């Protein structure tokens, strides 16, 4: 299959390399200094886990002309950048176009520009960063494959999404998860990160360890996540994936402890800290998209409103280590009381 990867950042470069290694005919579009680096060095990959390095050479182009024809175009870039290339994609004669990106606004703008018969949506489940001309990556390895989430913009599982998933799976160290409700998946993924954790990181100078040690930041982020989920449920989007339901029933103190432990994981430096520092424009764009959903829901979202206002107004950081916000212990106290009551009943009976 002739595949064009549109976007030569860390994830686009990694995806292009792995597809090429799997036998696909891959072209990567790049510009400026990134194009010069790729021409000189190829795609240089460095594993964050093992420090192993490898170089992969793929065909490079600088522009997509109207008569360039590919079987599949994979757009791997920030949402605010992706919408700017819609006129270029509209004029091009290629077939299927899969947008692998964060997206809270849905697919209407993509479909209006390109037609629903050409558009697929998804997300590239990997993380990495530039180290000069090298790409340091977390996923796309034997033990940690790169997971591509893929689905139809209007839901369901079609023949074409199965066919395209099969072609992408040929890539080295790549898995594909077909999502029957990819639009809901995308919206919940945004709710999990952008009107919640991203502003909390901003309020802690984009330092994951400072976030983990500042309980108030974690509490605000978690409560904003729950508000975001409530917004989406009110608008009719089912919790996707279903594993996110744990945020709704686990006691708050337990979730806060788990989040703090997760943020202290060294892998979060790449997955969240470095990405957040480098993508402030995308964060602002996605926050704006999600706030439209908040307005549509009519729900009261004080934690989202606070965090977003702090981010947008470039407020000073929270005091490091602050823990003035009281935790909600209701989810812990009630089960304990019920357990004590059950024990007393058993003692009286026996």
Q: Tell me the CA distances in angstroms from 179 to 7, 93, 212, 233, 282, one per residue in order.
A: 23, 27, 32, 18, 24
How high is the pLDDT of residue 348? 58
State both tokens at 327.
Answer: 């935790």
Q: Is 62 exposed, middle or buried (0-12, 13-18, 19+ CB in 10 A)?
A: exposed
First to last CA, the chain: 72
Domains of the chain, residue spans: 2-180, 186-332
Q: Is the peptide bond before 205 cis (omega within 30 degrees of 0)?
A: no
Of 3.40.50.620, 2.90.10.10, 1.20.1090.10, 3.40.50.720, the CATH number of 2-180 is 3.40.50.720
Q: Tell me the CA distances in angstroms from 42 to 8, 39, 50, one per residue in order.
A: 11, 6, 20
- Give the bridge partners for 123, in sequence order: 149
How high is the pLDDT of residue 337? 47
Give the contacts of 341 (CB within 8 A, at least 6 positions apart): none
CA distance 124 to 140: 11
pLDDT-flagged residues of the chain (< 50): 337-339
Query: What are the φ and ψ backbone dihedral angles of 97, each rounded to 5 degrees?
Result: -130, 120
Total-model pTM: 0.92
pLDDT digits 0-9 by tens, 187-204? 999 999 999 999 999 999
Query: What are the φ and ψ backbone dihedral angles of 11, each rounded to 5 degrees?
Result: -75, -40
CA distance 98 to 16: 14
How high is the pLDDT of residue 314? 96
């Amino acid at each position: 299959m002739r595949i064009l990867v549109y976007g030569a950042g860390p994830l686009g470069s990694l995806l292009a390399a792995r597809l090429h290694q799997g036998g696909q005919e891959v072209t990567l579009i790049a510009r400026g200094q990134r194009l010069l680096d790729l021409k000189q060095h190829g795609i240089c990959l460095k594993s964050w886990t093992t420090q192993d390095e490898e170089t992969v050479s793929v065909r490079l182009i600088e522009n997509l002309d109207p008569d360039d024809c590919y079987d599949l175009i994979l757009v791997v870039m920030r949402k605010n950048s992706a919408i700017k290339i819609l006129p270029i994609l509209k004029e091009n004669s290629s077939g299927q176009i899969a947008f692998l990106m964060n997206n809270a606004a849905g697919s209407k703008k993509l479909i209006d520009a390109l037609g629903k018969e050409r558009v697929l949506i998804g997300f590239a489940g990997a993380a990495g960063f530039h180290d000069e001309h090298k790409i340091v990556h977390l996923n796309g390895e034997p033990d940690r494959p790169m997971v591509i989430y893929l689905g139809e913009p209007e839901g369901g599982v079609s023949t074409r999404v199965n066919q395209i998933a099969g072609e992408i799976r040929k890539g080295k160290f790549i898995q594909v998860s077909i999502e029957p409700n990819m639009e809901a998946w995308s919206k919940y993924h945004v709710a999990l990160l952008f009107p919640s954790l991203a502003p909390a990181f901003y309020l802690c100078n984009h330092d994951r360890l400072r976030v983990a040690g500042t309980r108030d930041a974690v509490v605000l982020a978690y409560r904003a996540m729950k508000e975001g989920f409530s917004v989406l449920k009110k608008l009719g989007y089912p919790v996707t994936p279903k594993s996110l339901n744990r945020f709704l029933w686990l006691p708050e103190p337990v979730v806060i402890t788990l989040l703090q432990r997760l943020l202290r994981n060294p892998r979060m430096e790449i997955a969240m800290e470095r990405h957040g520092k480098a993508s402030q424009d995308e964060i602002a764009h996605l926050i704006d998209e999600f706030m439209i959903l908040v307005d549509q829901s009519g729900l009261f979202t004080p934690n989202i409103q606070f965090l977003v206002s702090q981010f947008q107004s470039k407020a000073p950081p929270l005091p490091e280590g602050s823990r003035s916000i009281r935790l909600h212990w209701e989810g812990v106290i009630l089960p304990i009381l019920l357990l004590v009551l059950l024990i007393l009943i058993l003692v009286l009976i026996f």
